[in-house]
Amino acid sequence: MINRNPNIANIKAGYLFPEIAKRRREFAAANPDAKIISLGIGNTTEPILPHTNAGLLGGASALADVKTYSGYADDSAGFTKLREKIAAAFYKDLVEPDEVFVSDGAKCDIGRLQLLFGAEVKVAVQDPSYPVYVDGSVLAGAAGGWEGSGYAGITYLPCTAENNFFPNLDLIPQNSLIYFCSPNNPTGATADRAQLTALVNAAISKGCIIIFDAAYSEFIRDPALPKSIYEIENAKICAIEVNSFSKPAGFTGVRLGWSIVPKALKYASGESVNTDWNRVNNTIFNGASNIAQAGGLAAIDEKGLEEMRALTDFYLGNAKLIRSTLQEMGINCIGGDNSPYIWAHFPGRDSWEVFSEILEKCQVVTTPGAGFGPAGQSFVRFSAFGHRENVEEACRRLKSNFI
């Protein structure tokens, strides 16, 4: 018999959303009349808008005609036109098309990127953070094995109210891979130019590479806040960026994202990370769906970008409602202004206990902060992904039933 990969047993956070679903099921079984509203997960709820949808339909129709049919691409990095358009639309040509790698989503890219650095690499993550940074590292064996409540190879960088949700960069180990997400999931905090400049400088001085997750960049409304790490000087020698059509275009089920791996980015040996990323992708990935890429092309032409703006405005409208409700209730929170997440503080309380209280009193599902890392304890995340009437009803119930 073949042994199980021992790293699988060490994955922890895969337990968060199934556990929330289990508690929701148990509550529903005990309260069959309850009309439960979920503000728990980051899944999109609104339909894809017409112009972008026409792109998807066109992509599907092209496959049904012998004159326009296409199969595998020669290179898994995506349609040349889409790579060019991403470089122009999102990076104002700060990056070149051959630094853009189109993919089936940011999460998949995050999982594959770890292959570039192997099991020996040290990892630093914001705490709390999107679970795949830690779990992907554990799966790749880079965590250094289970050690009590943490992993020896992973350094947690606490992001708390005390440090305004930006970590102490002195904690970052030399020669490590730094996962950094802004606007952040779960805290909703968005790093400003000075903070990102400090991050880039710290990475360069410590010989680190940043994996910058910008999956929520299209929610940024403050023009002073950088949408990409490449807006920061010298970022191209120390940072990879991942991004996605999932949240701003409603593509969570379509599956389309991209990574940027600059040609100036080198390993300690001087070899090119860009060349290796191309190689890894061509080895274990056969490219994003042709239909999804056709949709992506439509999503970033002039009309598509207007739709993206409308869709993100809609979710930001929900976020504003949730945030103002919590503030009226006297609950301290951040996020929700340049991000679809609101991070609410319940000092001294256990986040699962707060989750249960909100579920019981309001029939609203949230996400307990502790599920995103130790520093998430006593916080709860509210997601703005929901239909407007559900968000309004959830806010009414919070105001009248909670506390």
How is residue 110 written in tokens?
């995050």
Q: Which residue has the tokens 């556990």?
A: 19
Judge contact between 282 and 126, C-beta under 8 A: no
How is residue 61 written in tokens?
């129709």
C-beta atoms surrounding 157 within 10 Å: 22
Does residue 42 interact with ligand PLP by CB under 6 A? yes
Paired sense of beta strands 341-345 and 333-335, if any: antiparallel
Side chain identity, residue 382: F
What backbone phi and psi angles, to 5 degrees, belong to 223? Answer: -65, -15
Window 76 to 135, contacts with ligand PLP (CB under 6 A)? 105-108, 130
Closest separation in Å from C-beta 364 to ligand PLP: 20
Q: Which residue in 244, 274, 312, 378 binds ligand PLP (CB under 6 A)?
A: 244
Q: Which residue in 99, 127, 135, 213 binds ligand PLP (CB under 6 A)?
A: 213
Distance (Å, rounded) from C-alpha 342 to C-alpha 320? 9
Judge contact between 109 and 294, C-beta under 8 A: no
Give 79's strand partners.
none
Nearest alpha-carbon partner for 86 in 277, 281, 261: 261
Closest separation in Å from C-beta 191 to ligand PLP: 13
Closest separation in Å from C-beta 239 to ligand PLP: 15
Closest separation in Å from C-beta 394 to ligand PLP: 20
Q: Which residue in 197, 252, 278, 356 binds ligand PLP (CB under 6 A)?
A: 252
Q: Which is nearer to ligand PLP, 99 or 241 (CB)?
A: 241
> Contact letters (x/-) for ligand PLP, 167-186, by CB under 6 A?
--------------x---x-
Q: Which residues contact 1 (CB under 8 A, 6 or more apart)?
A: none
How is residue 341 written in tokens?
């997440």
Closest separation in Å from C-beta 185 to ligand PLP: 4
Q: Which residues contact 51 (CB under 8 A, 6 or more apart)?
A: 298, 301, 303, 304, 306, 307
Distance (Å, rounded) from C-alpha 216 to C-alpha 219? 6
Q: Which is nearer to ligand PLP, 287 or 362 (CB)?
A: 287
**Size of the residue set binding ligand PLP (CB under 6 A):** 14
What backbone phi and psi angles, to 5 degrees, belong to 143? Answer: -85, -10
Q: Which residue in 55, 226, 257, 368 binds ligand PLP (CB under 6 A)?
A: 257
Q: Which is nearer to ligand PLP, 298 or 362 (CB)?
A: 298
Closest separation in Å from C-beta 251 to ligand PLP: 7
Furthest-apart CA pair in the chain: how many Å? 65
How is residue 259 written in tokens?
């990574």
Judge contact between 60 and 267, C-beta under 8 A: no
Closest separation in Å from C-beta 198 to ligand PLP: 21
How is residue 47 written in tokens?
């339909």
> Contact letters (x/-) for ligand PLP, 317-356, by CB under 6 A?
----------------------------------------
Which H helix or E strand runs over 193? helix 193-206
Q: Which is nearer to ligand PLP, 80 or 252 (CB)?
A: 252
Closest separation in Å from C-beta 213 to ligand PLP: 5
Q: For ligand PLP, which residue has the nearest CB?
A: 105
Closest separation in Å from C-beta 201 to ligand PLP: 23
Q: Which is nearer to ligand PLP, 217 or 325 (CB)?
A: 217
Closest separation in Å from C-beta 18 to ligand PLP: 16
Q: Which is nearer to ligand PLP, 129 or 274 (CB)?
A: 129
How is residue 123 written in tokens?
């990892």
Q: Which residue has the tokens 């860009």?
A: 274
C-beta atoms surrounding 384 within 10 Å: 26
Does residue 241 interact with ligand PLP by CB under 6 A? no
Does residue 246 interact with ligand PLP by CB under 6 A? yes
Q: Which is nearer to ligand PLP, 341 or 355 (CB)?
A: 341
Q: Which is nearer to ligand PLP, 155 or 185 (CB)?
A: 185
Q: Which is nearer to ligand PLP, 160 or 246 (CB)?
A: 246
Compute the 3-state secondary structure of the chain and give helix, strand, coil in percent, each to the nearest 5. Answer: 45, 15, 40
Contacting positions for ligand PLP (CB under 6 A): 42, 105-108, 130, 181, 185, 213, 215, 244, 246, 252, 257
